[in-house]
Every structure is written in structure tokens, then in C-alpha cells.
Structure 1
Amino acid sequence: MSKNKKHKPKVQSEKAMSKPVNTNGQVTLSFNATDTLFFRESRPMESMGELQSVFPPPVRTLAGAIRTLIGEHLNVDWREFDANHPSVADIGFGDDLGKLHFQGAWLAWETDGKRERLYPAPLLLMQKDQSFYRLTLESKGIWCDLGKQVRLPKLPDNDDAKGSKPLENTWLTSDGLSAVLSGGKPNPKHIKKASDLFERESRVGIARDNSTRTVEKGLLYQTQHIRPHQGLSVELDTAGLPETMPAKSIIRLGGEGRTASIETKQTSNHLPKAPDANGNTQGLLLYLLTPLNMPQAAHLGFSREERDNQTIWTGTLNSIELELHGAVTGKALREGGWDMAKHQPRAVTSLIPAGSVFFCKAKNGDTQAAIKALHNTQIGELSAYGYGHLAAGLWLKD
């Protein structure tokens, strides 16, 4: 930890740079740790206790590394870079990304030569031993602070489901997500726990003063690093890059000067197709594949409505009029960071975490049209960064 931090972005390019690759359309940028990685939680370094590392990393951190890499590729002199610089069109300035657009961040796992993308497990999934159960909504609802007869999540009426726990820090393969979108349950082989993918390591450091290059006596701190297992990488689907980019580079990524390689690959269609509604469908489920940046006052753009002595919420997403009957959401994800444009800490905001699920019905009754219009789309603020990525699935009758 340093009193006089330098926040000038820096990229360490490989001496033998790979041949440039064509980036027409959308490509996938793959990040691989060279050792451990550290993406500090929203608490400041001066906080008591061990500072945890967020993983997968915040998309803003990945976007910043990519924008820096592009700037280095375009020979930008960062001392002259401001809102009027010619390269702003390519990498943007502040929250404005210019031509860039991101989707992700995603975890990718490679084993036995096969590479597959992983998705955060929907929070309606519960597990007990090797059995999985799906949360549904109460049929009658209860009076609570949210309104009248609000339909809260519940376990199925099955004694075997008692004692099951949420799938926290868990990811699904494409086949597993496809099963959940269709109203089913994943197979245990479709599940990846955090312990399957990476380890957490505690590190102890001491504060230093860069101006005198001396340590500060007694000022110790402890951080938790992430050590990805062999075969784990982080991917970001990216559009709007310059026509050519290095095939592979070494960059600084996250805190404490950690490094990673970044590789440019052609994008393939990873996300499972949307399921088809059937006679057993009563509505649609909207799954958050990435965190949602939505001010609390906006409430997803939905307004509260009393109907038949019951509270629901109505609103429009991507021109589809919906009724929101209930949701399963996780703990708010707190995200801060450093604002490179303003040279100051970014205000900490609360995001709706990935894996959250919303139980909806199409107001016109056309569930299939709503699924088609909302699957693989993004909602909320800063969607160009990848926030608010949706997958649409079936809400089956109880």
C-alpha cells in the first residue's frame, strides 16, 4: 500500500509480439493469470481485517486494461490524453467507451482439449447432497413491506427439499444452463464450484512511502489473492476494437501490480438458445448473467400496482410489456474502483448480482414472443460495459 499512488495506466508488451489479428466484428479477449490476481473489494485498504478479492473481476477493471492496451497500440502519450484527444473515438473517456462494447465477464474452463464457457448458477437453484431443487413463488403470498399478498420464493412441497442450500459461488456449463432455462435441473457434471476453478491465498504486505522509498513501521495489511487453476481463464466479448490488434500481450491487471496475458480470439456463439414455450408454461424467467447496474429509484423501470388485493409490478423491457410477480436476488454487489478521468476514487454503487432471477408474465399473454425479444439482451445502465445481460427461460406451472 502506498501513500503516493500512481494511477497512470501501463501495459507491458511482450518483446516478441504475435502477429496482429483482424478484429472485424466481435472478438473474444481471453485473460490468463501469470501468477495470482487481486481485485480488491469495495472496502478501502485502511479497513480492518483481510481484504477480499472479487472474482470474476469487475468488468470495469477488464475494460480499463483493454482501453489501455488499445491506447498503447495506437501510441497514445498518456500525458497528453484528455477528453479532446483524437483517440477518444477509439477508447472513449471516463464512462464513455467510444466505439467499444463489451459482453461479460465470463469464466471459461478448458479440460482435455475442450473449452467451455461457464455461467453463474441461477439463485433459484438449491442443492442437497447430489439432488437439485428449484425455488418457485408462493401461490397466495403474504403481506410484507413490499406490499399486499406479495408472492415470495419458496421451496417445493417436498420433504426431501428441506435443508437444501443455495448454489453460491457456483457456475453452470452451457448444457446446465440450457436445462435450467427449459424449466429443468442441471446434472452434477454440469456444476463447477469455486474450489474446482481457483484457490484463495492470503498475503501480508506493509505500507510504504514512494517519495522516500521507505516502509511505514507497523502499517501491515492483509489481502486475499486468487490463484486460478490450470485451464481457467476470464473472457470478455468485445466489439469496436481497431481493425488489427496484437494476438497476445502481457498486461497489468487488477491491484498490486499483478500481470496476465490477454489473447484475441474469434467469438463463437456460446449462450444456449432460448427455449420454446409449451402448454405447461405460465410465464418467463429472466436470469441475470452479469450484474445489473440499476439505480434503486428506477426499480427496473417497473411501477407498483395493486390488482385483486395483490401487489405486482408492471413495466416495459425492450418494448415488451411485462408483469413482475416475484424475484430471487442475492446480496447486493458493492463496486467501486478508481476513476482514471477524474483521478479520484469512484463512488461505490450497489449492483443486483449475477444469478438473480425475475418471475414475469407477458401482459399480452405471448410468452414466446417475450422470451425471443429478451433472451441474450442487456438492460439497465452502462450496458456497453456488459452489465445487465439477460437469459430468458420458462416459468412452468406448479
Structure 2
Amino acid sequence: MSQVVAEFKQVDSWFFRESRPHGSVGANALNSVFPPPTRTLMGAIRSYIGYQYFAQYNEYNWDNLDNLPQLQAVIGHAERLGSVQPRGVFIKRISGKDTTYYLPAPSNICEKFEQDKNHYLAFKLTQKPYQTDIGHIHLATLPEKVEGLVDSRGFKPLENTWISTQCWQAILEGDISALAKNSHQICKLDDFINSEYRLGIELQTDFSKENVRSVKEGQLYQTTHLRLAPDVSVVMPMQYDADDLSQVGNEVLAKQATLRLGGEARMANVQFLTEQADYLPKAPKQFTQTQSNGKKRFMLYFISKLIMQNGWLPQGFTQNQAQNGFDGNINDIAMTIVSACMGKAYREGGWNQLEHKPRPIENYLPAGTALFIDVDESINDSEIIAKLHGKTYLDNAWGEGLMLVGKVIQN
């Protein structure tokens, strides 16, 4: 598979509607989610490829898609993707000659500002399991004593935070001290975006009535648009089959384009970067730690959302009371989830353009979810890296559950 990075830059403000409906109780304005949902960005890319194809073969249009196997092989159809598949959505910032990629911060890292500087700690597991409402499991906790600080009270998880690839590399190596040295590369959303509040009017869209597209009396709504900082763009790495793409046109992903993107069809410039981009940190060569029970433990991070199954668990995992965890298999690696650190569930719906109706709202594990994993001692580190690091959960075509592996952090 070949790789390319789609970089989206703003022409106008953007709006990516949250899952909450208009007029919901206790709220006046609809917020915009950030980063843009993968489905929204892929919808724009797939439409762009389709229009490029129809420009070459003007005897065809979207009504002929069912009878165009070459085009379908590239962009897919309705809910099914073709060979062009995303691998996460991240942030890119250019400062002078320096280019920095930012990924969602892991949920096992906590921050506290004291003595005129930021301090960072990582959750660790309790020595013994506790009986909870989800079973007999080890809990994640902060150390009671911290060198250089009175105590660990006041530390909070990194929410709505993005950290650089360099900081992520230190986390995977288990070196949390590097975060304080590079705190300028740990950014909140406000460092990347500004909010703009807009007032809209609902239109009459029922074609069975008169005055179609006239204003509905009293139907006002408020939305929150996003404006990126001048040096910030959104990037979506993609993989594709070069042979399939050649049937549509080799230059399709080698051009710059202006697209309609998100709610209200706001404009965006997109360019396709073919050079190798180091947006993902590398896995440490040796990162597992042998436990007293003979198992090997490491951290597994999801840097893109993943659909929940059976409560909060990823698909295919079931509880194992004997092991005080949850057993399952990811990409042919048998493992046990000992404990987890995660933020609030991410909810996403969207719009079904083919059938002109909303898509069902589903719950996802949020990007940044951190899992404490145990595997059998017979599984070596290189095998884990080959099957998990930089790969998606069960080879998800939408890039959901993009994984990183690293050491358990010792504060």
C-alpha cells in the first residue's frame, strides 16, 4: 500500500456539528467538534476523487457509480470504503523551518502547575485488585509522594490536550521527565483554534408546501464555528492501492484542490503530501516488563477513537475473574487488559448523504485511551510491534483504533 498525507487548510471558518440536536434542553448553541471527524474529511476526499473522474469521463456522473467498478475500488460506496483509507486525524504546526505534528494526549498522564512550572505524573496500578462494579480489578492511581512536591493532590488528567510527536516518543520510552522540559509542545485546543459564534435562520425545505426555502418564523439557531491559528493545519494520513488509483487517474492525489467541508459547506484547501512524514513516534525496541506471575506488561495507546463493545470494552474482550482483567485478541496477539485510563466517551453520528437521513449516534473510546496490557512471556517485543504499533484495531478500514505501544511509566 502507498501512503499520502492530506493536509487541510482553512479558507473560511469551519463547523463540524456535535451529536446533540438543535433545541436540546438547557443549551442554546451547538458546538463544533475538533478535530474534524474522519468520516467528514473522507467524504470530502472521496467526492473530490469522484469529480476528478467525471471530469475525465464526462459521460458518467454519480448516478452511474454502481456500474463503475474502477471508481468504486478507490472510493467505495456509501458506508464501505475503497482502497483509499484514513489513518487518523492529527494537527500540524509550522514555526519557521520547524514542522511539528501533534497527537491526542494519553489519558494516563496528569498535569499540575506549581512553583511556576508544570509537573507531570503518570497513573500506576494498585498492588492488589479491588472489588468494583465491573469486577475484581487493579485500579489506576497516582503516587502519594512526589519528589519536589508536597503531595500529588491537584493533578488532573490531560483533557482536550495535544502533544508533539517528540513528547509522545518520551512517553513510549517511559521518560515522563521529558514532558516538563518540553512543556511548550503540550498544547490545549485554545492554542490551535478560536471560537466564533454565529446566528442562523431555519429555512422551509418541504417541497410539498409553498414558499420553499423561505424563512421559518421564530426558528433561529446558534452555532460555534472554528478558526485555526495561521500556522496550524489538519492532516489526515491515508493509504491507498496504487494499481487501483491508476485506473482512475494517477494525478488525482497529486494536486491541490479547494473543497467544501463540514457543516454549511465551508471551504478548505487540501494538498496531498507524498514525502515521508514522521507524524508517529517509534516503538521502543524493548518495552515489556516481566511481572511476578510470569506475564509481560506494557502500555497500549489508542490515538484515534474506537467503537465500544460490551460496555466500555473493545470488541471481542470478555471478563476473566481469575486473571483480574479482561481477555481478548488484537491483530492475533492474545492479551489481558489489566486496567485502563480513558476520558469521557466520544459520541459521533453524522449524515447519510445517500439516504438523506442522520446516521445512528454511536459511543466510542476516545482518542488517548491508555490500556495496561499483559501478554504471555512467549510473545516477544518485536512481534508485538509488528502487529500493533502504528496499526489499526482489527485492521479497521476507517483508521479507528490506531495503536501505539510503550513502557509502563515509573514516576
TM-score range, shorter chain: 0.7 to 0.9
**Partner in structure 1 of residue 301 of structure 2:** 287
Q: Distance in 1 between matches of 2:96 and 2:188?
A: 19
**Partner in structure 2 of residue 214 of structure 1:** 214
Q: Tell whether the 8 Å contact from 1:274 to 1:372 is kept in structure 2 after alignment.
A: no
Tell me if 1:254 matches 2:245: no
Question: 337, 354, 379: which is aligned to 2:350?
Answer: 337
**For residues 234-264 of structure 1, what are the alpha-carbon distances to aligned partners after superposition, in whole Å with 9 as ceiling and x for unaligned?**
1111222542125211110000121100111
Q: Which aligned pairs between 1:135-150 and structure 2 lie closer than 5 A?
A: 135-148=123-136, 150=137
Higher helix share: 2
**Partner in structure 1 of residue 208 of structure 2:** none
Q: Tell whether the 8 Å contact from 2:326 to 2:336 is kept in structure 1 after alignment.
A: yes
Q: Distance in 1 between matches of 2:160 and 2:381?
A: 31
Q: CA deviation at 1:195?
A: 1.3
**Partner in structure 1 of residue 310 of structure 2:** 296
Q: CA deviation at 1:296?
A: 3.1
Tell me if 1:184 matches 2:161: no
Q: CA deviation at 1:214?
A: 2.0
Q: Tell whether the 8 Å contact from 2:306 to 2:314 is kept in structure 1 after alignment.
A: no
Q: Tell whether the 8 Å contact from 2:103 to 2:162 is kept in structure 1 after alignment.
A: yes
Q: Tell whether the 8 Å contact from 2:124 to 2:141 is kept in structure 1 after alignment.
A: yes
Q: CA deviation at 1:78?
A: 4.5
Q: Give secondary structure in 2 for the equivalent of 1:358.
A: strand
Q: CA deviation at 1:278?
A: 5.9
Q: What amino acid is the match of 2:154?
A: G
Q: Distance in 2 between matches of 1:69 and 1:172?
A: 31
**Partner in structure 2 of residue 11 of structure 1:** none
Q: Tell whether the 8 Å contact from 2:300 to 2:403 is kept in structure 1 after alignment.
A: yes
**For residues 68-93 of structure 1, what are the alpha-carbon distances to aligned partners after superposition, in whole Å with 9 as ceiling and x for unaligned?**
00001001755514434442222110
Q: Distance in 2 between matches of 1:278 and 1:213?
A: 60
Question: 147, 157, 182: which is aligned to 2:144?
Answer: 157
Q: Distance in 2 between matches of 1:343 and 1:78?
A: 19
Identical pairs, percent: 34
Q: Tell whether the 8 Å contact from 2:288 to 2:407 is kept in structure 1 after alignment.
A: no
Q: Distance in 2 between matches of 1:107 and 1:289?
A: 12
Distance 1:396 1:193, change over 3 A: closer
Q: CA deviation at 1:45?
A: 3.1
**Partner in structure 2 of residue 60 of structure 1:** 39
**Partner in structure 1 of residue 271 of structure 2:** 263
Q: Which aligned pairs between 1:44-83 and structure 2 lie closer than 5 A?
A: 44-47=21-24, 48-75=27-54, 77-83=60-66
Distance 1:78 1:350, change over 3 A: farther
Q: Distance in 1 between matches of 2:409 and 2:62?
A: 57
Q: Give secondary structure in 1 for the equivalent of 2:381.
A: helix
Q: CA deviation at 1:135?
A: 0.9
With the length of structure 1 as denominator, give the TM-score of the two structures: 0.87
**Partner in structure 1 of residue 10 of structure 2:** 33
Gaps of 5+ in 2: 206-210, 292-296
Q: Distance in 2 between matches of 1:372 and 1:359?
A: 19
Q: Which aligned pairs between 1:318-397 and structure 2 lie closer than 5 A?
A: 318-364=331-377, 366=379, 368-369=381-382, 370-380=384-394, 383-396=396-409
Distance 1:196 1:319, change over 3 A: same
Distance 1:339 1:223, change over 3 A: same
Question: 320, 323, 344: which is aligned to 1:305?
Answer: 320
Q: Give secondary structure in 2 for the equivalent of 1:286.
A: strand
Q: CA deviation at 1:299?
A: 3.7
Q: Distance in 2 between matches of 1:56 and 1:323?
A: 31
Gaps of 5+ in 1: 1-23
CA RMSD of aligned residues (A): 2.1
**For residues 186-243 of structure 1, what are the alpha-carbon distances to aligned partners after superposition, in whole Å with 9 as ceiling and x for unaligned?**
2312211111111112111111225533211211111111110011111111222542
Q: CA deviation at 1:184?
A: 2.0
Q: Give secondary structure in 2 for the equivalent of 1:373.
A: helix
